[in-house]
């Protein structure tokens, strides 16, 4: 990957800074050396849409029981439900009769029944039954939008774009969720900000200063950056607090005195529209996105601890390994929730700053964020075609 210098660039961080006050300029005015957006780039980054032709995560599999589940993806109300064989279906969350939410209804076999008048809808969105339909009346031809949806690796993935492309593109996938060599933990991020703020937060490893002893790594240095049409890869040299190679290693999560800093490579990826990172061989993290609208983002933050360094792990009986994985599932969820609680005010302050001064651009020393913004713009443009 390319080697990086540290010359500041002006980036749409939308953070209030007084970098122009000594020149007599308003501290919130865009720097005159920064490029001026024009044409298709005129839309502020923090108001950009997204590309729908990707698989997004709208829920964990355990959230969907025998009752319908309402979710929202980029202004689109959607209802999820399980059919008689447990298969998941996704259609518009509205009854075409009176426009009430179908998610307030119930499931009957493979059909979703509206709570208001009892109209029945099939998985393809067609109305199949109206209880009070007269013999001389025909069923209405109204059909709701159906979304490709699948359950994989513990999560429910939805494809909101062109259905013809759904089978040509695969979900990012989280294979460690079921793998017996990994202990997983997950937590929900629900934040009132544009999704770009959250992805920049995740790619920017320098903000670990905020999290104190909840941070897995320290002393990151960005040494390489690769940006392609659908992916950003930032390579950091860093130090890890943890060594996961003994049965008691998990105690390091709770007893800071047991941690010892040692160098590990830290690789951070933005495979649009999600995020993942690896710290040496011990940790892997994901953030799976479901943008709700321009100022509301939901995402699932997932942390995996690898047991790959445990000696003779593969020799243990499968039942023992499954018990171990199940027992320690969500061990790190408390740390994840703490990190999220500390990040949320920062992200929401950035969103508020954008509302106050939407044209301001602040200096940024981390070029990985420039790559992230470039990718967001490219994908948003594709989504508008």
Q: How far is it, in rounded angstroms, from Cα 355 to Cα 311?
A: 54
pLDDT at 12: 56
∠236-238-242 over CA atoms, to 5°?
135
**126 lies in the same domain as 213:** no
Peptide bond into 273 cis (omega under 30): yes
In a domain, 43, yes or no: no
Residue 305 resides in a domain: yes
24 lies in a domain? no
Give the per-residue pLDDT at 168: 93
State how far the Cα of 107 lies from the Cα of 82, in Å rounded to an integer.
8
Residue 267 lies in a domain: yes
Extended beta strands in the chain, E state = 9-11, 56-60, 69-73, 76-82, 88-92, 106-108, 111-113, 120-121, 127-129, 149-152, 155-158, 182-191, 217-227, 231-240, 262-271, 275-279, 283-293, 296-306, 362-364
pLDDT of residue 295: 97
Query: Is residue 107 a part of any domain in this protein?
Result: yes
**CATH, residue 343:** 3.90.380.10
Nearest to 234 by CA among 348, 366, 86: 366
Q: Is residue 26 part of a domain?
A: no
Structure tokens at 3: 């080697």
Q: Is residue 212 part of a domain?
A: yes
Q: How is 162-174 classified by DSSP, letter by letter?
A: -GGGGGGS-----
Q: How many residues does the chain have?
A: 385
Same domain, yes or no: 280 and 343: yes
Same domain, 360 and 341: yes
**pLDDT tens per residue, the chain (385 residues)?**
554 444 544 555 443 333 333 333 333 333 333 333 444 467 899 999 999 999 999 999 999 999 999 999 999 999 999 999 999 999 999 999 999 999 999 999 999 999 999 999 999 999 999 999 998 999 998 899 999 999 999 999 999 999 999 999 999 999 999 999 898 999 999 999 999 999 999 999 988 888 877 777 788 999 999 998 899 999 999 988 766 666 555 666 666 666 677 889 999 999 999 999 999 888 899 999 999 999 999 999 999 988 877 767 777 888 888 887 888 888 888 889 999 999 999 999 999 999 999 988 888 889 999 999 999 999 999 888 7
- The per-residue pLDDT for 330 is 85
Residues 142 and 270 in one domain: no
Same domain, 164 and 269: no
DSSP notation for 241-306: S----SGGGGGGGT-GGG---EEEEEEEEEETT-EEEEETTTEEEEEEEEEEETTEEEEEEEEEEE
Q: Please check whether residues 296 and 262 belong to one and the same domain.
A: yes
Question: Would residue 70 count as lying in a domain?
Answer: yes
DSSP 37: P
Supply the pTM of this predicted model. Answer: 0.86
The DSSP element (H or E) to which 341 belongs, if any, is: helix 333-356
Dihedral of CA atoms 123, 127, 131, 132 in degrees, nearest 10, equals 170
Task: Determine the angle formed by the axes of helices 333-356 and 195-203, rounding to 10 degrees.
Answer: 130
CATH code where residue 86 lies = 2.102.10.10
Distance CA 316, CA 299 (A): 35
Q: Which of 148, 168, 188 is the last residue of a domain?
A: 168
pLDDT of residue 276: 97
Dist CA 90 CA 115 (whole Å) = 17
Give residue 75's pLDDT: 97
Q: Which domain holds residue 330?
A: 175-383
SS3 state at 2 = strand
Q: Are residues 220 and 305 both part of a single domain?
A: yes
Do 124 and 217 belong to one domain? no
343 and 264 within one domain: yes
Domain boundary among 149, 168, 187: 168
Instruction: Choose one of 114, 149, 168: the last residue of a domain.
Output: 168
Tokens standing for residue 18? 């007084």
Same domain, 94 and 123: yes
243 and 197 inside one domain: yes
Q: What is the pLDDT of residue 282?
A: 83
Q: Are residues 150 and 182 in the same domain?
A: no
Q: How many domains does the chain have?
A: 2
């Amino acid at each position: 990957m390319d080697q990086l210098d540290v010359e500041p660039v002006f980036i749409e961080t939308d953070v209030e800074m007084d970098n122009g006050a000594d020149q007599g300029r308003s501290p919130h005015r865009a720097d005159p050396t920064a490029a001026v957006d024009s044409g298709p780039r005129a839309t502020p980054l923090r108001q950009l849409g997204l590309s729908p032709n990707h698989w997004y995560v709208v829920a964990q599999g355990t959230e969907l029981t025998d009752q319908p589940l309402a979710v929202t993806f980029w202004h689109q109300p959607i209802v999820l439900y399980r059919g008689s064989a447990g298969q998941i279906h996704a259609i518009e969350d509205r009854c075409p009769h009176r426009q009430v939410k179908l998610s307030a209804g119930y499931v009957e076999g493979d059909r979703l029944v509206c709570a208001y008048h009892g109209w029945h809808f099939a998985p393809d969105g067609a109305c199949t039954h109206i209880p009070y339909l007269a013999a001389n009346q025909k069923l209405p031809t109204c059909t709701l939008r159906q979304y490709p949806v699948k359950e994989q690796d513990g999560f429910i993935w939805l494809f909101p774009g062109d259905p013809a492309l759904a089978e040509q593109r695969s979900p990012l996938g989280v294979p460690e969720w079921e793998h017996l060599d990994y202990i997983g933990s997950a937590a929900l991020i629900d934040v009132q900000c544009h999704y770009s703020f959250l992805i920049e937060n995740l790619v920017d490893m320098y903000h670990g200063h905020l999290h104190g002893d909840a941070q897995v790594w320290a002393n990151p240095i960005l040494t390489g950056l690769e940006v392609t049409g659908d992916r950003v890869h930032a390579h950091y040299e860093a130090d890890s607090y943890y060594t996961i190679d003994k049965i008691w290693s998990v105690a390091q999560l709770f007893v800071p005195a047991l941690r010892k800093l040692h160098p590990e490579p830290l690789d951070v990826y933005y495979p649009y529209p999600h995020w993942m990172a690896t710290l040496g061989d011990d940790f892997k993290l994901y953030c799976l996105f479901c943008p709700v609208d321009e100022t509301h983002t939901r995402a699932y933050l997932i942390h995996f601890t690898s047991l790959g360094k445990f000696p003779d792990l593969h020799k243990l009986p499968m039942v023992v390994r499954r018990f171990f994985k199940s027992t320690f599932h969500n061990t790190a969820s408390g740390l994840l929730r703490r990190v999220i609680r500390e990040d949320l005010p920062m992200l929401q302050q950035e969103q508020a700053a954008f509302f106050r001064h939407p044209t301001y651009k602040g200096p940024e020393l981390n070029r990985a964020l420039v790559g992230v913004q470039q990718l967001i713009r490219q994908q948003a443009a594709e989504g508008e075609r």
